Amino acid sequence: MKRESGSSFLDSILSFLDGFARILVAGGGLALIIGLIFLLMSFFSGSQGTEEQILRNVDLWGRIAFLGAIVLSIGGAYILYEEETAGPIALLLGAAMAFAPSYMGSMGNTISAETSGMVLGAIQKPGLPLMALGIFLLAYELISRARVGIKQGAKADQLKLGQGLKEEREIKNVFMGKCWQLPYCRKFVRERCPIYHAKRTCWKERTGCMCEESVINNAMKGTVIPKDIVAAAQFIPRNNKLTEKQKAERCMHCVIYNEHQKHKYKLGLPIMIAGIAVFYVLMREPMAAGVARIMNVAEGAVNDATFNRGAASMLERGIPFHEIVLGAIMIMVMAYGVKLLEYFIFRMKV
């Protein structure tokens, strides 16, 4: 009874947090949208005679939009962490607001450049919490995908041979070990397995206890396999009815080979992440300078198109936007790098 009541209490807490987070997302999103609408109205419909009113609106609606973005980001971080597309969308929406001064300039308004800059600054500010939300969601996806890949490997529906087989407790899971050093190698089969006595691996021989019936039959019959490595190799069954491609296909659907691939993933994941991190550290300055140049070129093109050539650059506003953009790009590279690694290890079976 105590366990049931404790579980019920926890479920109630989680249900409350889920509902509260949804309220935060709805309320924060509404406040953000309303605030942005009034800020845009102030930007596009202002005149010299109403600048004092515009500045009051900017102070009010800018605060509302920024607070709404913060509330939306807090709620979104709780309920959107499992949505794969939420991170990129939040990052793009945040960037659209954060870089508003670059592409909006002073187009279409009659207010002074100073007041225009104040309005654009108010539009820009809510973009930062949304960019932070996007980066958080991308980082969470990176970590969660890595954990699932390390623990599970290929999805269960991809495995046809040995699916649902329990791990053998008496076998130590040797990292990057041979098939008979992995936890799905059954003891009664291993003692009569020619691959084990020959000290080879089933995936290299393209035959094993999960895919070749004769291996199991020999184990059930108690066939004696020589202890000598060379002699034992002569007992490895060769199925000439299947092509090499068909034999490789069997490996791709085998629970033992999937465990081997999980080890590859554990090895490849930190190497990939460390490689990207080292590349970022070594190349940060030239990459940041390159991002800054691209932003300046884009700003210049927009300013020329909107006849606002003398507008101040975003990079002169005190916020290192080029560094923020570079950081977001590197996190996206890592997130999609993990997906690519999963594809090659668990789908292509490299």
| Res. 144: pLDDT tops 50 | yes
pLDDT at 163: 58
SS3 of residue 312 by DSSP: coil
Average pLDDT over residues 126-137: 90
**Rounded (10°) CA dihedral 280, 286, 291, 294:** -150
Q: 61-90: per-residue pLDDT in tens?
A: 999 999 999 999 999 998 888 787 888 899
| Residue 161 bridge partners (DSSP) | 254
Between CA 20 and CA 77 the distance in angstroms is 12
| Res. 141: pLDDT tops 90 | no
Categorize the per-residue pLDDT at 27 as very low, low, confident or very high, splitting at 50, 70 and 90.
very high
pLDDT at 210: 84
SS3 of residue 244 by DSSP: helix
Q: 313-343: per-residue pLDDT in tens?
A: 555 555 677 788 888 888 888 888 888 898 8
Count of CB atoms situated within 10 Å of the CB of 226: 14
Between CA 35 and CA 54 the distance in angstroms is 13
Average pLDDT over residues 85-112: 78
pLDDT at 2: 46
Alpha helix locations (H) across 306-343? Answer: 321-342
pLDDT at 34: 93
- Reported for 142-145, long-range contacts at CB under 8 A and 24+ positions apart, including other chains, are 142/331, 142/334, 142/335, 142/338, 144/81, 144/82, 145/335, 145/338, 145/339, 145/342
| Res. 245: pLDDT tops 90 | no
| Res. 131: pLDDT tops 60 | yes
Name the percent of the chain lying above pLDDT 90: 14
pTM: 0.66
Q: 44-59: per-residue pLDDT in tens?
A: 765 544 677 788 888 8
pLDDT at 4: 52
